């Protein structure tokens, strides 16, 4: 059997349009394709590979657990799930944990819990959910409707109801929308898919205060920002506000599929036996790998290292930009960074991604106007410099083709 890009078109549903490059091996922040060509990975599987590829701690955890126990139904619990839950509780505001397989599933659980909490405590009239334009919360029908990008939710028939959207960083607009009928507000503490948009400090505090005033639960979607990505274990810890519910996935498993919703005892009690579930949620293999990832990331050295690496990324991106003038700004926090393309390249962020692949560096986009960087949190300085040297060649080629 010949395994190539053409086979994708033959056997896969056409909802993706992957690159012709097929990676076959990864180590640290380097990846090799079928032809043996090497790439520096600044994409990290979209902020998933927090420790790069094949990190020894994750490989060891997977091998060890793989020889013990792979799966149980939720009729029984298991040791890796309990250890991981205890570590998440100890490291955050939360008292209780629910495990799922992905960020979308964690968000689905959070939204269902918020609706049930409001129904039990305040009645059927308190069902409104507010989220933010350009937000992204997953691809289930509930979460994609809550997400603030209609292009992702249109075309599938009637949408889940009583969901409204406000502009991110516009506190006045949000205040005009929220009321005692609002059951929950879902927001990213730094918008990822929507363009790497950081929240104003007053905005975050204002949202928190208005949620408290109206007895609405504040849900932080930390699927992309969580597990060290911003230089804190979770982004809320650097913002001076605490949510009522938090969701985490992506980097939580370091590449192994897992998600979690965490919350307080008072709120968690409303997901009584039978109200929600997941066949694979709390899977021993996933939880064992996630425990190793969390243990490795949640250290002062790694978290401080994220902030130091952010500074180096910004320095090198600024040097490239001084020379080529392709970005109007570099924004984001930690190792969730975005270069907003200048006016003459508007709508063409993907051109930089494609050019980068040709030069041996992997990046991402966040919408049509932002080049996104979400590398390993432990990427060596040498790999940052080498990757940026390759990215500069990619920028030069885009600029030359634009001349």
pLDDT value at 328 more than 90: yes
7 in the Ramachandran plot: left (φ > 0), alpha (ψ -120 to 50) or beta? alpha
Structural domain ending residue among the three candidates 297, 332, 358: 297
Give the rounded percent of residues in the chain with a pLDDT score beyond 90. Answer: 99
Residues 167 and 137 in one domain: yes
CB of 188 within 8 A of CB of 136? Answer: yes
Structural domain ending residue among the three candidates 245, 271, 297: 297
Residues 67 and 46 in one domain: no
Annotated binding-site residue? 136: yes
Could you report the per-residue pLDDT of 18-77, keeping only the tens digit for each? Answer: 999 999 999 999 999 999 999 999 999 999 999 999 999 999 999 999 999 999 999 999
Q: What is the mean pLDDT of residues 258-266?
A: 98
Instruction: Identify the CATH number of the domain in which residue 371 sits.
Output: 3.90.1150.10
Could you report the per-residue pLDDT of 162-187, keeping only the tens digit for each? Answer: 999 999 999 999 999 999 999 999 99
Could you report the per-residue pLDDT of 198-220, keeping only the tens digit for each? Answer: 999 999 999 999 999 999 999 99
Residues 170 and 308 in one domain: no
Residues 22 and 64 in one domain: no
* 8 belongs to the catalytic site: no
Residues 23 and 144 in one domain: no
Instruction: Identify the CATH number of the domain in which residue 141 sits.
Output: 3.40.640.10
Annotated binding-site residue? 279: yes
* 136 belongs to the catalytic site: yes
Residues 10 and 28 in one domain: yes
Marked catalytic residue, from 41, 117, 142, 221? 221
Residues 61 and 45 in one domain: no
Pairwise CA distance, residues 136 & 224, whole Å? 10
Annotated binding-site residue? 278: yes
Q: What is the mean pLDDT of residues 149-159?
A: 93
Structural domain ending residue among the three candidates 297, 316, 350: 297
For 238, the token pair is 């650097």
Pairwise CA distance, residues 115 & 185, whole Å? 11
* 156 belongs to the catalytic site: no
Annotated binding-site residue? 141: no
Residues 341 and 221 in one domain: no
Residues 85 and 208 in one domain: yes
Could you report the per-residue pLDDT of 123-144, keeping only the tens digit for each? Answer: 999 999 999 999 999 999 999 9
Q: How many CB atoms lie within 10 A of CB 163?
A: 19
How many structural domains does the chain have?
Answer: 2
Could you report the per-residue pLDDT of 347-380, keeping only the tens digit for each? Answer: 999 999 999 999 999 999 999 999 999 999 999 9
The DSSP call for residue 148 is B
Residues 105 and 248 in one domain: yes
Marked catalytic residue, from 126, 174, 244, 250? 250
Exposed e or buried b for every residue in 355-378, given b needs 16+ CB within 10 A?
bbbebbbbbbbbbebbbbbbbbbb
Could you report the per-residue pLDDT of 312-321, keeping only the tens digit for each? Answer: 999 999 999 9
For 97, the token pair is 């944990």
Res 169: pLDDT: 98
What domain range includes position 30?
5-54+300-402
pLDDT band at residue 402 under the 50/70/90 scheme: confident
Res 403: pLDDT: 73
Marked catalytic residue, from 42, 117, 132, 136? 136
Annotated binding-site residue? 104: yes
Residue 402's Cβ-count burial label (10 Å; 0-12, 13-18, 19+) is exposed
Query: CB-based contacts of 37: which residues, under 8 Å, 6+ apart?
Result: 21, 360
Res 219: pLDDT: 98
Number of H helices, E strands in the chain: 14, 15
Residues 88 and 152 in one domain: yes
Residues 64 and 204 in one domain: yes
CB of 362 within 8 A of CB of 324? Answer: no
Direct distance between the N- and C-terminal alpha carbons of the chain, in angstroms, rounded to an integer:
43
Annotated binding-site residue? 255: no
Task: Give the bridge partners for 341, in sequence order.
Answer: 327
């Amino acid at each position: 059997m010949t395994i190539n890009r053409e086979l994708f078109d033959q056997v896969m549903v056409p909802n993706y349009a992957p690159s012709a490059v097929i990676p076959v091996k990864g180590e640290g922040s380097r990846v090799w394709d079928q032809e043996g060509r090497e790439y520096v990975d600044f994409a990290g599987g979209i902020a998933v590979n927090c420790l790069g590829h094949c990190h020894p701690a994750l490989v060891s955890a997977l091998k060890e657990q793989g020889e013990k126990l792979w799966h149980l139904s939720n009729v029984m619990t298991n040791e890796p799930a309990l250890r991981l839950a205890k570590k998440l509780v100890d490291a955050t505001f939360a008292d209780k944990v629910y495990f799922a397989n992905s960020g979308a599933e964690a968000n689905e659980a959070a939204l269902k819990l918020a609706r049930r909490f409001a129904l039990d405590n305040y009645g059927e009239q308190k069902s409104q959910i507010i989220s933010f334009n350009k937000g992204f919360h997953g691809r289930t029908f509930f979460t994609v409707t809550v997400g603030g990008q209609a292009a992702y939710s249109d075309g599938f028939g009637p949408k889940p109801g009583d969901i409204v959207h406000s502009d991110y960083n516009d506190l006045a607009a949000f205040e005009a929308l929220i009321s005692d009928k609002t059951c929950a507000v879902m927001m990213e503490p730094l918008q990822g898919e929507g363009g790497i948009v950081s929240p104003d400090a007053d905005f975050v505090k204002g949202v928190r205060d208005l949620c408290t005033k109206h007895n609405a639960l504040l849900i932080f979607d930390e699927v992309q920002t969580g597990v060290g990505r911003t230089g804190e274990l979770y982004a809320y810890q650097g913002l001076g506000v605490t949510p009522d519910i938090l969701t985490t996935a992506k980097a939580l498993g370091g590449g192994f599929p897992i998600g979690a919703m965490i919350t307080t005892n008072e709120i968690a009690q409303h997901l009584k036996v039978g109200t929600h579930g997941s066949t694979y949620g709390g899977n021993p293999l996933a939880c064992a790998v996630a425990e190793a990832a969390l243990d490795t990331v949640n250290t002062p050295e790694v978290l401080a290292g994220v902030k130091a690496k952010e500074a180096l990324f910004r320095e090198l991106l600024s040097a490239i930009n001084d020379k080529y003038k392709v970005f109007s700004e570099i924004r984001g926090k930690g190792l969730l960074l975005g270069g907003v393309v200048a006016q003459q390249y508007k709508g063409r962020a993907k051109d930089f991604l494609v050019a980068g692949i040709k030069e041996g560096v992997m990046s991402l986009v966040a919408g049509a106007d932002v080049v996104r960087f979400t590398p390993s949190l432990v990427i060596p300085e040498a790999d940052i410099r080498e990757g940026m040297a390759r990215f500069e060649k990619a920028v030069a080629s885009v600029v030359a083709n634009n001349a």
